Structure 1
Amino acid sequence: MNAPAATLSIHRVATAADRRKFVDIAWEVYRDDPAWVPPLKSEVLGLITPGKNPWFEHARAELWLAMRGGRPVGRISAQVDRLVLEQMGPGTGQWGMFEALDSEAAAALIATAEEWLRAEGMSRALGPISLSIWDEPGLLIAGFDEAPTAMMGHHRPEYRGWVEAAGYGKARDLYTYELDIRINMVPLIQRLIDSGHRNPRIGLREVDKNRFDEEAAILMSLLNDAWSENWGFVPLTASEIAYVGKKLRPIIYEDLVYVAELDGVPAAFMITIPDINELTADLDGRLFPFGWAKLLWRLRKPRVRRMRVPLMGVAKRLQGSRLASQLAFMMIEKSRQVSVAKYGATHGEFGWVLEDNQGMMSIAQLPGAGINKTYRIYEKAL
């Protein structure tokens, strides 16, 4: 006779030990998934810990674990962000950090997050967003077979059905584009790039890591301006800019980060990074005792298959113009050449890009490029 199934229960994360379990459940969920890349545990812990992540200066969150038979079988967060309420309207709450081993745990976790959001006065839920739109937004719904690049999420195919079974529908899709960067630009785009280099009003420069804080402030100011009209946009605060700069600094290479200037004024930027996931995949999420030394050595002169453009923007005053495309393609071509010649890369990934951001989609659709992953942000009236 089979023993009765253990009862599922939901527990609020309250202690440091709980937070470690919250992080560690991902290793159970994806232990048989060859496409999953273990995140650095210290990074995830920092993300969810008030006092470490400045996101908590304008937002609050609760975390829960689903438990069965004394072991975690899922997790979720629910969050209310003052800046989201200002940008997207009163009543907009979010949930994220979602993982589950089965549909029962998934349903109970989503219901728990919704209950908390209602108690906080929210009338609409968006998810998954973990924790901010600047972290890992959206649920992977296409592109499961290939490992994600750095700073992008990976999920189980079952999640889509579990989320939709809870009453959620599509809010927006986010795309990433992949292309073979060994292929030269088509003549039409190359002529546009060449004319930009001849234009005395345009300057293209690399960032200077000796002035890193100043350069980071320029990049993030351009980002806040360039993305301000996008759906879901939330501005980065000064403390978040400093936090992001500190996290990005070890993977920033001066010859891969560009500022385009018009008449001496910053007008566009692009950040390209080596796919750090290729350098951390074998560390199993641990930097100590030996992972940190391995990673530092690999970061000295990284050689990777893929490069990623996680952030790019053109000043709002130029968007929709021929000049905006010209600046973008000038930076893309410079990065393409360096990525192949110096870093040994063969492929690049651009994104994420909102499905209704026509300007960025037109740039991302380079010759040979195609959508390789689709992430979906869901919504539901509470």
Structure 2
Amino acid sequence: MAQILPVTDKKLLAKFIDFPHELYKNDPFYVPELHIAQRDMLTPGKHPFHDHAKMQLFLAVEGEKIVGRVAAIINGNHNTIKNVKEGFFGFFDTIDDKAVSKLLLDAAQNWLKENGQTSIMGPVNFSTNDICGLLVTGFDGPPVAMMPYNAPYYLPLLEDFGFTKKVDLRAYKYTAGNYNDRSVSLLEGLENRLKRSNIIIRKINLKKFKEEAAALREVYNSAWDKNLGFVPMTDKEFDYTAKDLKMVLDTDFCYIAEQDGKLVGFALAIPDINQILIKIKKGRLFPTGLLKLLLGKKKINGIRILLLGVVDGYRKLGIEACLYGRIIKAFKARNFQYAEASWTLEDNDMVNRPIENIGGKLYREYRILEKAI
């Protein structure tokens, strides 16, 4: 019979991080997270999320064998800004066993209740600014960069515990030669029209990355403020994320809209680094993983359109079309084979309709679930 074991030291933390590798060892679509990145993320003092949050990790064990894991998370900034007492669960992985799943979720729920929370929501690792959602449709391939993956049996286990749908997140896919590139043919005219209002579209300047990141933070926190569960990143959180993204950034796929030196929008697509990570055993960069990472970057032939936002007051001027046009133009020039636009809220027609008009096909959905406690 399984028992719950709170994670209290580095040895247990390593087991917590490594459990999915064993669980999915025979799954050809599983992509391991980098161990060093997961370790730092889950260690208070290493990741700035912990400056305003509380977290407890739990393992489910049967004898010497680990059979599940979960994190109970209290995001202080989320609760303060939203004026709620909503806890989160994340890093949820389990064998296909109702009793084990219940043990894990009970542990997370009870810890959150003891710490004053009145509901539980997830899966979210740590917030909607990070990897979140439960894969519910589209189990036919590996996830793209910074998107979650799980077995199909997770949903019935969570529903059996009493979770219900809060919202679905969408992922759209474009394939080479199978999309509408009208925004590329209109690009020059649209950009010339914007220039009459002193609005220009340009690539990110990596030589001034620190200054660019500071300005992008303001746009990000403004442009996404209406999204479900969105809480602005702190300066430290954004800088931490920007530093990670810089390692995979390709300037052909990162564009800024600017009026008289003021950033008013940006679009970011990143190379699908998962094409390499899927080959790195247990997420270890040493001894051979680092070489695979360095040699594999030039062979990547897919992207994830991660962010595209324009601040209020500048929307519907054609900026969004120009940002998309620039990315599509680079996608064609580099002979990439696919692009995923993710994620978007299922009811966000202002975003979803243009994606569909360009030729994006809805091919995966992810679910955020909730439950009163």
**TM-score interval w.r.t. the shorter chain?**
over 0.9
Residue 143 (1) aligns with residue 138 (2): yes
Q: CA deviation at 1:130?
A: 1.1
Which structure 2 residues correspond to residues 1-382 of structure 1 after superposition, within 5 A? 7-101=1-95, 102-183=97-178, 185=180, 187=182, 189=183, 193-199=187-193, 200=195, 201=197, 202-284=199-281, 285-299=283-297, 302-319=298-315, 322-323=316-317, 326-342=318-334, 344-382=335-373
For 1:265 and 1:88, locate their aligned partners in 2 and report how far apart those are by CA, in whole Å.
29
Q: Identity of counterpart residues, as a percentage?
A: 33
Shift in CA distance, 182/220, structure 1 to aligned 2, threshold 3 Å: farther
Shift in CA distance, 303/328, structure 1 to aligned 2, threshold 3 Å: farther
Q: CA deviation at 1:363?
A: 2.6
Contact 1:181–1:336 (Cα < 8 Å) also in 2: no
For 1:229 and 1:15, locate their aligned partners in 2 and report how far apart those are by CA, in whole Å.
38
Q: CA deviation at 1:305?
A: 2.9
* Secondary structure, counterpart of 1:231 in structure 2: coil
For residues 143-187 of structure 1, the C-alpha deviation after alignment (integer angstroms, 9 at most, x for no partner) is: 111110000000010000000001111111101110124346354
For 1:140 and 1:271, locate their aligned partners in 2 and report how far apart those are by CA, in whole Å.
23
For 2:167 and 2:155, locate their aligned partners in 1 and report how far apart those are by CA, in whole Å.
14
* Secondary structure, counterpart of 2:277 in structure 1: helix
Q: Which residue of 2 aligns with 1:3?
A: none
Residue 258 of structure 2 aligns with an amino acid whose one-letter code is E
For residues 38-82 of structure 1, the C-alpha deviation after alignment (integer angstroms, 9 at most, x for no partner) is: 111111112111111110011010000000021110000001111
Contact 1:213–1:245 (Cα < 8 Å) also in 2: no
Contact 2:52–2:77 (Cα < 8 Å) also in 1: yes
Q: CA deviation at 1:364?
A: 2.0
* RMSD between aligned residues: 1.6
Contact 2:184–2:328 (Cα < 8 Å) also in 1: no
For 2:164 and 2:237, locate their aligned partners in 1 and report how far apart those are by CA, in whole Å.
31
For 1:252 and 1:158, locate their aligned partners in 2 and report how far apart those are by CA, in whole Å.
34
Residue 331 of structure 1 aligns with an amino acid whose one-letter code is L
Residue 140 of structure 2 aligns with an amino acid whose one-letter code is D
For 1:175 and 1:123, locate their aligned partners in 2 and report how far apart those are by CA, in whole Å.
28
For 2:86 and 2:274, locate their aligned partners in 1 and report how far apart those are by CA, in whole Å.
33
TM-score by length of 2: 0.95
Q: CA deviation at 1:29?
A: 1.5
For 1:259 and 1:186, locate their aligned partners in 2 and report how far apart those are by CA, in whole Å.
20
Contact 1:35–1:148 (Cα < 8 Å) also in 2: yes
> Any unmatched runs of 5+ in structure 2?
none
For 2:208 and 2:359, locate their aligned partners in 1 and report how far apart those are by CA, in whole Å.
36
Residue 77 of structure 2 aligns with an amino acid whose one-letter code is L
For 1:364 and 1:237, locate their aligned partners in 2 and report how far apart those are by CA, in whole Å.
30
Q: CA deviation at 1:131?
A: 1.6
For 2:185 and 2:293, locate their aligned partners in 1 and report how far apart those are by CA, in whole Å.
40
Q: CA deviation at 1:358?
A: 2.2
Contact 1:203–1:264 (Cα < 8 Å) also in 2: no
> Any unmatched runs of 5+ in structure 1?
1-6
For 1:182 and 1:210, locate their aligned partners in 2 and report how far apart those are by CA, in whole Å.
34
For 1:227 and 1:86, locate their aligned partners in 2 and report how far apart those are by CA, in whole Å.
18
For residues 325-357 of structure 1, the C-alpha deviation after alignment (integer angstroms, 9 at most, x for no partner) is: x21121112112212323x31111001101122
Contact 2:90–2:124 (Cα < 8 Å) also in 1: yes
TM-score by length of 1: 0.92
For residues 265-323 of structure 1, the C-alpha deviation after alignment (integer angstroms, 9 at most, x for no partner) is: 21110111110001222111110122113312333xx232321111221102234xx21
Contact 2:180–2:359 (Cα < 8 Å) also in 1: no
Residue 336 of structure 1 aligns with an amino acid whose one-letter code is I
Q: CA deviation at 1:242?
A: 1.3
Residue 309 of structure 2 aligns with an amino acid whose one-letter code is G
For 2:184 and 2:209, locate their aligned partners in 1 and report how far apart those are by CA, in whole Å.
31
Contact 2:184–2:329 (Cα < 8 Å) also in 1: no
For 1:186 and 1:110, locate their aligned partners in 2 and report how far apart those are by CA, in whole Å.
46
- Provide the aligned length of Structure 1 versus Structure 2: 368
Residue 115 of structure 2 aligns with an amino acid whose one-letter code is E
* Secondary structure, counterpart of 2:145 in structure 1: coil
For 1:303 and 1:296, locate their aligned partners in 2 and report how far apart those are by CA, in whole Å.
10
